[in-house]
Structure 1
Amino acid sequence: MASSKTVEATAYAAPMDGMPPPPPYQETDNRTSAHPSAGPAPSYHAGEPSLGAGFTSSGGVRFPPTLNAYLQMAFTRTFHLGERKEAPSFAARMHSGFTKNPELVLYNGPSEKDPILATATHKSLWKSRATLITVPAREGVPHDTESQNVEMACHASFKHKTYTFTADVGVGKETRREEFEWRSSHGNEVRELDGYKWGWKLVRLSGEPLGSGGDRATRTSGSTSDGHEVVAVWAHNNSMSMTKAFKFQLMGSALNGMLGERGAALALISALRIWAIELNTAAASSSAASGAAGAAAAAG
């Protein structure tokens, strides 16, 4: 039976980016960050994750606590994100990567006519593993008067893969530079996404630790084994649905608004970018397997 990633890739032919196949999903939060500290963030208690009603930024953008990505069966590269298919919060569109358009565009509303909230694309043809994320300036939002460009780097080894980025997050005078890391995981935070067995979690490497870490049975909810806060999770849809593609959830300081509109937007656009990379990889693997099977049949 085809995997959910292969089903999604078949339903939505995203552009290829030449990424190698992803490694098996494993818990990777017991590693120590090799990246320099971005400096201490303002001290506050993030607390345990609460789904609540999400938050609305000072710029008027509402981020629900959870979002599903809904593909359209029509011939289009546009899909929607929302708590329910009938009430989308955001639209997103993928481009081929061979035009001037970014490969992924996230809109602040359910239509491509709405303002752009964030974009993501490969940094260059020679650095396909590096993603350039842009959060444009927001008119009428004093602390977002300048666009922010963020580079998300992929770090891969035989067993693990992570994606890291450093960005300015927060609200108003509380804006500060922080470091984040997407880690593949099959921990409790991912499992709570309607029973998903594996996925990714966004770890806030800067700021105050949430407890002392440890194994899953003893550590603080919403924290990693090395004591960092988990601020978002996402996973592929674990059913064979051809339209409901993946599920995303904000947590902790991203959900309660402490990371601001840009923090939430960066969490969402970076999750979508990794999801698109994995769809491309699954499509490439499926195509290669079909080609090999066809060649073997012809030879036989």
Structure 2
Amino acid sequence: MGNPEEAESHTSEYTSSAPPPYSEAVQGSHREASRSTNGDRHTSTNATRISPYRPFPPILSAHYQWKMITPVFHLGDPTDKRLFAVKVHTGYGGYGPGRPGVVLHNGPTDKYPMLAAAGDEHYANSYSLNGIITLPSLSGGTTADGNCTEILRAATSPDAVVFRFSIEVGPGQDLWREDFEWRKSKGCEEDKGLVGAPWKCGFKLFRLSPRSGKDLDPDPANGTLQKSAPKNQELVAVFAWSSNLNLMDPFKIEFRGSGRTGVLGERFALMTVITGLRLWGLKAQRRTSESKIAAGEARCVPGTSSR
């Protein structure tokens, strides 16, 4: 999944122009404004400081290398297949989020600073419904390293398996939180038309509502998500994988609608990419099936199943 010799050569090539770590770039560059009555608005004094070193292209594809001797692969586009490095993290070592998952680096090798990370909760098992997403903090002061965490929650709905999250959106300095849902494709004709051969639509990302949706918050009584979500939401991204078992270029993320035009902003784009990487890892572990997630839901609801 990566070549260390090639990685070293690229590291030296980009060292002189490498950006500072996110914890440094964000510190002192953002402030959290006083919240409105519904608590969903933020103001950033310089929103561009939390952008990726290279903006995410409309279509971001994964690329592995023939010498798969390191747990590193890349995300890029047709003009450059090595825009961002992704490293599979075992949960050990002095870097990363301190849990098994993936780390997205802000440059073409894993020598670059961490841009975002995704993984299991601490001590989570295969039935865990929550994924922990690590992002740069808007305020720069949430933790000692300047990062903050969001939750990607799995659930079953009447229509499909879903993975939901909330994130700040907006193209400029005035940001607000909105809710989104990765919905697992069932292979219908409509989904087949979203991506051309040899790709297969795996998940579709929907913008649930142009506001902070408290109806998707966990129920404080049992910590679970509600089963239903509003209909007729906007499709803002598609996660697809190769249907011909292409091991070198296995999957891609395509931004659509408001996600493609930039209306939702760069923080949304980063969250889309890192949650897409999380879904890829869960798929490899066979943890996106309806039966698996339903079993996890049963374990989380008091009185429905014993641990």
In structure 2, the residue matched to 1:156 is 156
Question: Do the aligned residues in 2 keep the contact of 1:90 with 1:110 (CA within 8 Å)?
Answer: yes
1:207-218 map, 5 Å: 207=210
Task: Tell me the equivalent position of 2:183.
Answer: 183
Q: 1:102 to 1:191 in 2, by over 3 A?
A: same
1:67 and 2:60 aligned: yes
Q: 1:68 to 1:266 in 2, by over 3 A?
A: same
State yes or no: 1:91 paired with 2:94: no
* TM-superposed deviation, 1:61: 3.3
Contact 1:39 1:178 in 2 (8 A): no
| Closer/same/farther in 2, CA of residues 85 and 105 from structure 1, 3 Å limit | farther
Aligned-pair identity in percent equals: 33
Match of 2:283 in 1: 278
- For structure 1, list consecutive stretches of 5 or more residues without a partner in the other structure: 1-7, 9-37, 42-56, 209-223, 283-300
Q: Determine the structure 1 residue equivalent to 2:202.
A: 199
Quote how far apart the aligned CAs of 1:72 are.
2.4
Write the distance in 2 (CA, Å) between the matches of 1:225 and 1:153: 17
* Structure 2: runs of 5 or more not aligned: 2-37, 42-47, 212-228, 288-307
Name the structure 2 match of 1:248: 253
35, 57, 79: which one aligns with 2:73 = 79
Aligned residue for 1:62, secondary structure, equals: coil
What are the equivalent positions in structure 2 for 1:1-150 lying under 5 Å apart?
59=51, 60-73=53-66, 74-84=68-78, 87-97=81-91, 100=98, 103-126=101-124, 128-137=128-137, 147-150=147-150
- The aligned length equals 213
RMSD after superposition: 3.4
SS in 1 for 2:250: strand
The structural deviation recorded for 1:93 is 0.6
Give the secondary structure class of the aligned counterpart of 2:118.
Answer: strand
Give the Å deviation of 1:229: 0.8
TM-score for both structures, normalised by structure 2: 0.60
